[in-house]
C-alpha cells in the first residue's frame, strides 16, 4: 500500500517523507481541501531516472547518393541532417535539446488535447536531464 498524505501534513513532515522517498518509497500527496483532486508524487530522482532509462531511442539513418546523411527519431518527431555523420548527429542533438527545453517550458501546450504529445515526456525528460550538454544528449540519443 502506498502512503498518502494531505498537503498540509506533508509540509509538516517533509524531512521525514523526503528520507522515505530517498529509500525508494513513492509518497502520494493529496489536496486535503478538495475531494478527488489529482494526486502528486514525491519520488527519488535517481529512481525516476532509472525508470525513464528504459525509454530508449532508436535513431534511423539514411544516406543519399551525394553522401549526405539524414537521421530521425520517431520517438520525439525530430530529424537531423548534414554532409557528414558528425554534422547530422550534432544537428539532431541540438534540435532535440531545443525541443526538450521548449516542451518543459510550455508543458500545458504540449500536453493539451490539440498537440497531445504526452508520449514524448519520458524521452524528453532524459534529454532535459543532460542540462544542455550536447555530448551527453548524443549519448542518450545513441548517435
Partner 1 sequence: MPSQFTFGDIESICIRLGVARAQKGSMLWRGVGSDGLYRQTTIHSHGDGTNVSPSTARKMAEQLKFKDVEDMYDFLNNRHRKS
3-class SS letters over the chain: CCCEEEHHHHHHCHHHHHHHHHCCCCEEEECCCCCCCCCEEECCHHHHHHHHCCCCCCCEEEECCCCCEEEEECCCCEEEEECCHHHHHHHHHHHHHHHHHHHHHCHHHHCCCCCCCHHHHHHHHHHHCCCCCHHHHHHHHCC
The least CB distance from residue 102 to partner 1, in Å, is: 6
| Grid coordinates given for 20 | 522515505
Cell representation of residue 121: 515526456
Determine if 128 is a binding residue for partner 1 (CB under 8 A): no
User: Mask of contacts with partner 1, 10-49, x by CB under 8 A?
Assistant: ----------------------------------------
Which window, 4-12, 18-26, 35-43, 70-78, contacts partner 1 (CB under 8 A)? 70-78
Residue 98 to residue 125: CA distance in whole angstroms: 12
The residue from 10, 21, 27, 91 that contacts partner 1 (CB under 8 A) is 91
Per rule CB under 8 A, is residue 86 in the interface with partner 1? no
Q: Which is nearer to partner 1, 36 or 108 (CB)?
A: 108
With binding defined as CB under 8 A, does residue 122 bind partner 1? no
> From CA 54, how far away is CA 15, in angstroms rounded?
30
Of the residues 20, 22, 72, 129, which one makes contact with partner 1 according to CB under 8 A? 72
Judged by beta carbon, residue 10 or residue 59, the one nearer partner 1 is 59
Residue 59 found at the interface with partner 1 (CB under 8 A): no
Which residues of this chain interact with partner 1, rule CB under 8 A?
62-64, 66, 68-70, 72, 77-82, 91-92, 94-95, 98-99, 102, 114-115, 117
Amino acid at each position: 500500500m502506498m502512503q498518502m498524505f494531505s498537503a498540509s501534513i506533508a509540509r509538516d513532515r517533509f524531512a521525514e517523507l523526503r528520507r522515505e522517498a530517498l529509500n525508494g518509497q513513492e509518497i502520494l500527496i493529496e489536496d486535503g481541501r478538495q475531494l478527488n483532486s489529482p494526486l502528486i508524487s514525491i519520488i527519488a530522482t535517481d529512481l525516476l531516472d532509472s525508470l525513464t532509462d528504459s525509454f530508449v531511442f532508436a535513431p534511423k539513418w539514411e544516406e543519399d547518393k551525394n553522401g549526405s546523411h539524414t537521421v530521425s527519431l520517431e520517438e520525439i518527431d525530430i530529424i537531423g541532417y548534414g554532409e557528414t555523420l558528425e554534422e547530422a548527429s550534432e544537428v539532431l542533438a541540438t534540435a532535440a535539446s531545443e525541443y526538450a527545453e521548449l516542451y518543459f517550458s510550455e508543458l500545458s501546450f504540449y500536453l493539451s488535447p490539440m498537440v497531445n504529445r504526452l508520449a514524448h515526456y519520458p524521452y524528453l525528460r532524459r534529454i532535459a536531464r543532460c542540462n544542455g550538454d550536447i555530448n551527453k544528449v548524443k549519448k542518450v540519443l545513441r548517435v
